[in-house]
Amino acid sequence: MIHLAIIPDGNRRWAKERGLDPWKGHEKALEGFRIILDWIKKRDDIGVLTLWCFSTENWSRNEKEVSALMRLFEQYLREEKGRLVKNDIRFVHSGRKDRFPKSLASVIAELEDATKDCKKYTLHIALDYGGRDELVRAVKKIQGSDITEETLRAHLDHPELPDIDLAIRTGGEMRFSNFSLWQTAYAEWMFLDKYFPDITTEDLDDCVTRFLKRQRRYGA
Sequence letter at residue 157: D
- Determine the Cα angle at 167 with ends 148 and 77, to 5°: 95
In a domain, 10, yes or no: yes
Asked if residue 98 belongs to a domain, the reply is yes
What is the pTM (predicted TM-score) of this model? Answer: 0.95
Query: Residue 199: what pLDDT?
Result: 97
220 falls within a domain: no
CA distance 120 to 83: 13
Residue 133 within a domain: yes
Residue 151 lies in a domain: yes
Where in the sequence numbering do the catalytic residues fall? 9, 58
Which parts of 42-169 fold into alpha helices (H)? 63-86, 102-114, 131-141, 149-154
Residue 54 near residue 101, CB atoms below 8 Å: no
C-beta separation of 34 from 109 below 8 A? no
What CATH number does the domain containing 61 carry? 3.40.1180.10
**DSSP symbols for 110-138:** HHHHHTTT--SEEEEEEEEE-HHHHHHHH
Cβ atoms within 10 A of the Cβ of 16, count? 13
Ranges in the chain, pLDDT < 70: 220
The candidate with the shortest Cα–Cα distance to 152, out of 120, 132, 182, is: 182
- Whether the CB-CB separation of 192 and 170 falls below 8 Å is answered with yes
What domain range is 118 assigned to?
Answer: 2-213
The whole-number pLDDT of residue 60 equals 94
d(CA 64, CA 214): 43
- Percent helix, strand, coil in the chain, to 5, is 45, 20, 35
Q: Tell me what pLDDT residue 147 has.
A: 86
Q: What per-residue confidence (pLDDT) applies to 217?
A: 78
Cα separation, 136 vs 101, whole angstroms: 23
Q: SS3 for 47? A: strand
Report the domain count for the chain: 1
Q: Has residue 219 been placed in a domain?
A: no
Q: What is the pLDDT of residues 70-116, one digit of tens each?
A: 999 999 999 999 999 999 999 999 999 999 999 999 999 999 999 99
Does 218 reside within a domain? Answer: no
